[in-house]
Amino acid sequence: MFVAPGTGEGPAPKKDRKWLWGLGAWLFWFIIADEVFEAALDWLVATGGYGFSNAIIGLLTLGGCFIGIQRLHVKHRRLETEGDPDPLPAPYDYQTQAQGGVFAGWAFGIITWVATAAWLVFVGVGSAMTFWPILGTTILWVGRMEMAHARVMDARRGQPPALMALSEIPQGCSPIFPTRWLWSL
């Protein structure tokens, strides 16, 4: 059926119901999946001990992180070859915008490794979780991937990488670890 634009006739616009999917996933997790997950963990610990359960959880975490990193890699390559459909405005560059994510990735990665080491020292090897160091390393790696992607996107635009950010750092400070500059703020 043909409807002339601007006449107000025709089918009603689609409603955005993404929140229903989120609500459904939340209910599924807290009603069903959480109980199943806890029962599976109890069974893993009872069957093979903490080492076996940590190995299984570590392998599942490693597989999920690998899939996530591969998807991010594909997304970055698509943006780098086809261009960004929503590019940053002229005074901004991608590398400066990526610095917050890189800092958060490094902070989370280091915190998870320190927490795991502290857990091993104070609690013992038998109850250490392999989940956190794998996840922390993955998030650290994603931060590095984001920075490499930002450099490629800046080079693609013909813009020197982080020109404005480097010009704001005082003389004598490292642009990679600007600790003196941060403390002076």
Q: What is the DSSP secondary-structure string of 37-86?
A: HHHHHHHHHHHHHHHHHHHHHHHHHHHHHHHHHHHHHHHHHHHHHH--SS
List phi, psi (to 5°) of 118: -65, -40
Helix, strand, coil distribution of the chain in percent, nearest 5: 70, 0, 30
The one-character DSSP state at 175 is S
Q: Is 3 helix (H, G, I), strand (E, B) or coil?
A: coil
**Neighbouring residues of 99: CB distance < 8 A, sequence distance ≥ 6:** 147, 162, 165
Q: Nearest to residue 113, comparing CAs of 129, 97, 126, 125?
A: 129
User: What confidence score (pLDDT) does residue 184 get?
Assistant: 45
pLDDT at 130: 80
What is the structure's pLDDT at 8?
62
What pLDDT sits at residue 141? 92
In whole angstroms, what is the distance from residue 26 CA to residue 67 CA?
23
Q: Model confidence over 55-78: pLDDT tens digits?
A: 888 899 899 999 999 999 999 999
Domain locations in the chain as residue ranges:
54-171
Look at the pTM and tell me if it is higher than 0.75: no
For the chain, residues with pLDDT lower than 50 are 162-167, 177-185
